[in-house]
Amino acid sequence: MRHQEVEVLAIGAGPANLALGIALEEMAPKELAAGTLIIEQHDNTLWQRGMLLPWTQSQVSFLKDLVTLRNPRSEFSFVNYLHSIGRLDEFINLGTFTPYRSEISGYLQWVASSLREVQIEYGRRCVSIEPGPVQDGQVTHWLARTADGAVISSRSLVIGAGRDAYVPAEFAALPENRVIHSTRFSERIEQVDPKEAERIVVIGGAQSAAELLWAAYQRFPEARCTMLMRSIGLNAYQSSKFTNELFYPSFIDDFFATRPETRLQVLREMHVTNYAGLAPNMLETLYREMYQERLQGTERLRMRTLTDVAAARMEDDEVVLTTVDRKTGDREELRCDLVLLGTGFVRDMPGMVRDLATATGAGQATVDRTYRMVLPESYTARCYLQGVNEATHGIADSLLSVLASRSQDIVTDLLAGRGVPSDEALLAKAL
């Protein structure tokens, strides 16, 4: 059995851990950066790989990249990426703060290949994490097991693999070739024969569902595409400048110090800023297309609002959805060939994190202000959670907006655990 020993093991080579890798190289002593390993289950680094569609754009300013809000002079900025590939002039001329999703993905790949000390290994899926053996009454290491049979021992662990996809129970029993979650859309839609997808139903009423609807509508020009949503209709993101201040990294301190009941209120009120809305251009595109279809009498694109799906089954090679009209309570059967799920992610901690909390005796997985998991006193091994702390750190926790500041918080805490003062941590590579 292959055994590795590293100082820091980061699981997932997405934006969160790439930002961490940059922070380690810019803030930490060389030996710590060089002792850091990032593992990624896929063979490359892509952003939102399931929905990496050519026309999709980020909803976040390019200035909220992996590093700029922490270190605007960094060589790892999005602007320097564009400069390095000779496309800065064109991007400036485009006149936008929100790059195409493919550009963000290209930026992440560039960062991954530009790290000098932090190592990234691809094609390595973590299947379990457990505490290392107790030595002198303390747990000093973690043991991560990977699908290739290896064991990686680390003094510190950073989990940044994202949340689990949410597949409503009503669809869990459908065959895999008849239901596709947005996280796997780009991969699996290639396997769908257009002749076998003449009736497509999209579940959801926010951005990912709308993108699925539009992508399917374009890809299958003969198909009837229907969107089912529980809400009264599609709405734009709430994005006033006042609301956007709640996505500042500086707001994290305020949110973390807030009483739990008030946190819940803030999260409810901010729901429409991230989860329950659409980008204005997406709304405009869908509405204009539906308007044109009505003019032409085709109406291949449809929406059904205030509708629940109570059940789903297979019958005579068709998917049969039992729908419930929320206005009247009436039930109806809707037959289709393919179901696309724009249902987002499970709000609870990922299964891997919950299992780890149980194994340590911590019970429920919680973190302190520096994103370090709260563990029993016998643990000197540290574990940090990225992108899953919305309940304690605010709605921006899963977004690009806070990656630069969060990586600084984690690295500063890592260095404090090694006896490096905070001021020195912040200035380590600036001197």
Could you report the per-residue pLDDT of 122-176, keeping only the tens digit for each?
999 999 999 999 999 999 999 999 999 999 999 999 999 888 999 999 998 899 9
Condensed to tens digits (0 to 9), the pLDDT of residues 23-77 reads 999 999 999 999 999 999 999 999 989 999 999 999 899 999 999 999 999 999 9
Same domain, 332 and 230: yes
Tokens standing for 389? Answer: 């702390």
Terminal Cα distance for the chain, rounded:
43
H runs (alpha helix) in 152-274: 185-188, 207-219, 241-244, 251-256, 260-269, 271-274
Residue 44 domain-assigned (yes or no): yes
Same domain, 52 and 178: no
C-alpha distances in angstroms, 134 versus 13, 146, 378?
A: 30, 22, 9
Residue 122 domain-assigned (yes or no): yes
Calpha distance 56→152 (Å, rounded): 37
Same domain, 189 and 327: yes
Q: How many domains does the chain have?
A: 2
For helices 403-417 and 15-27, angle between their N-to-C axes, nearest 10 degrees: 50
Residue 74 domain-assigned (yes or no): yes
Same domain, 51 and 178: no
The domain boundary, picked from 341, 365, 380, lies at: 341
Average pLDDT taken over every residue of the chain? 93
Query: Residue 182: which H helix or E strand, with range?
Result: none
- Specify the pLDDT at position 422: 53
C-alpha distances in angstroms, 9 versus 101, 102, 168?
A: 27, 27, 32
Residue 43 domain-assigned (yes or no): yes
Q: Taking 90 as the threshold, does the pLDDT of residue 381 lie above it?
A: yes
Same domain, 309 and 190: yes
CA-wise closest residue to 340 among 217, 235, 222: 217
Same domain, 330 and 184: yes
Q: Taking 50 as the threshold, does the pLDDT of residue 263 lie above it?
A: yes
Indicate the pLDDT class of residue 427, thresholds 50, 70 and 90.
Answer: low
Q: Taking 60 as the threshold, does the pLDDT of residue 431 lie above it?
A: no
Same domain, 173 and 216: yes
Same domain, 91 and 213: no
Range name among 47-56, 322-331, 404-413 with the lowest pLDDT average:
47-56
Same domain, 154 and 60: yes
Same domain, 388 and 421: yes
Contact 336, 200 (CB under 8 A): yes
Residue 266 domain-assigned (yes or no): no
pLDDT (average), residues 313-317 = 94
Residue 201 domain-assigned (yes or no): yes
Residue with tokens 């900025």: 77
Same domain, 370 and 314: no
Give burial (CB, 10 Å; 0-12/13-18/19+) of 67: buried
Q: Taking 90 as the threshold, does the pLDDT of residue 269 lie above it?
A: no
Residue 265 domain-assigned (yes or no): no
The domain boundary, picked from 341, 360, 393, lies at: 341
**Share above pLDDT 90 across residues of the chain, in percent, rounded to a whole number:** 82
Calpha distance 351→203 (Å, rounded): 24
Same domain, 68 and 125: yes
Calpha distance 63→232 (Å, rounded): 35
Condensed to tens digits (0 to 9), the pLDDT of residues 186-226 reads 999 999 998 889 999 999 999 999 999 999 999 999 999 99
**Share above pLDDT 70 across residues of the chain, in percent, rounded to a whole number:** 97
- Specify the pLDDT at position 134: 92
Residue 269 domain-assigned (yes or no): no
The domain boundary, picked from 341, 366, 386, lies at: 341
Domain interval for residue 359: 3-164+348-427
| CATH number of the structural domain spanning residue 297 | 3.50.50.60
